[in-house]
Amino acid sequence: MKKLISLALVLALAIMAVSCSTQPAANEPAANQPAAEAPTAAEKVIPDVIKIGMVASISGEQALDGKNMSDAITLVSEELAANGGLDVDGKKVQIEFITEDCEAKPEIAVNAVQKLIEQDGVLAILGPNNSSDVLASGEISNAAQIPQITNAGTNEKVTQIGEYIFRACFIDPFQGKVVAKFAYQDLSAKKAAVLYNNADAYSTGLCEAFQAAFKELGGEVVAVEAFAGAEVKDYSAQLTKIQATDPDVIFYPSHISMIPLQLQQARRQPVNTQ
């Protein structure tokens, strides 16, 4: 996460260099006035403060992920303060982090990014930590030419939004292949089932990637059951259908807050699998 923040600072400085490095050209002199001497070099303007925004799920279903981001910001802020700021060409520049809680909800993430750009005037945005939230908010940052960097937006469509959208993590196809290989080779599973959240881009992307990779290895996907949204807490209907297909392994491409409950219910069912 600290590397992600460092990247955001680098991109913010790059944007600052492009937008602030030269002063506007002087107006043309009147006919009876002598021409002003043309500047011989661009004048660099280094601000006293650089604002960096962060959008994270500080509350809601993915609050643990958001807390990790928030803790990283606190750590970096303390380090910068101890050093008197960030050294930019010999000048100590203060870095102001502005945090917005998106609650792991795309519509709130959109509003948060708009606020950070239009009201707070940030030069770069960290997060959100959820693929669905980045996919929803990234269009705004890209249109405004504000770099946005997600630490955990693994859906491969995230960086296809535009040239100002970045990630500091792997992508779903990579994860799906690794999990499929582990299930097929290490667990010797030949039949797999999947329980996923069809209202979440992260879960959907992993579900699709796993299926493709598992089939390519020679395995059979015998059941793919979906639930709609993080608000769902009862998976008994889906698990009953999965149990009927007698899979060797079940893949749960969900966020960390959901998996314990899913596993508990699977064991109570019981679904006799890995």
CA dist., res. 25 & res. 39, Å (int): 9
pLDDT digits (tens, 9 = 90+) for 124-174: 999 999 999 999 999 999 999 999 999 999 999 999 999 999 999 999 999
Q: How far is CA 20 from its chain centroid?
A: 28
Question: 32: which residues sit within 8 A by CB, 6+ positions away?
Answer: none
46 within 8 A of 85, measured Cβ to Cβ: no
Q: What is the pLDDT of residues 47-78, one digit of tens each?
A: 899 999 999 999 998 898 899 999 989 999 99
Strand intervals (E) in 5-78:
49-56
Assess if CATH 3.40.50.2300 describes domain 172-268: yes
As a whole number of angstroms, the distance between CA 25 and CA 270 comes to: 74
In the chain, list all ranges with CATH 3.40.50.2300: 2-19+41-167, 172-268
Look at the alpha carbons of 88, 122, 62, 254 in this order and tell me if their dihedral is positive or negative: negative
Higher pLDDT, 116 or 90: 116
CB-based burial, 59-73: b 16+ in 10 Å, e otherwise? ebbbbebbeebbebb
Helical (H) or strand (E) element with 96: strand 91-101
Distances in Å between the Cα of 124 and the Cα atoms of 54, 77, 215, 266 are 9, 16, 41, 43
Q: Which run of H or E residues covers position 250? A: strand 249-251
Pick the CATH number of 2-19+41-167 from 3.30.365.10, 3.40.50.2300, 1.10.240.10, 3.40.50.300: 3.40.50.2300
The pLDDT tens digits of the residues spanning 172-181 come to 999 999 999 9
pTM (two decimals): 0.79
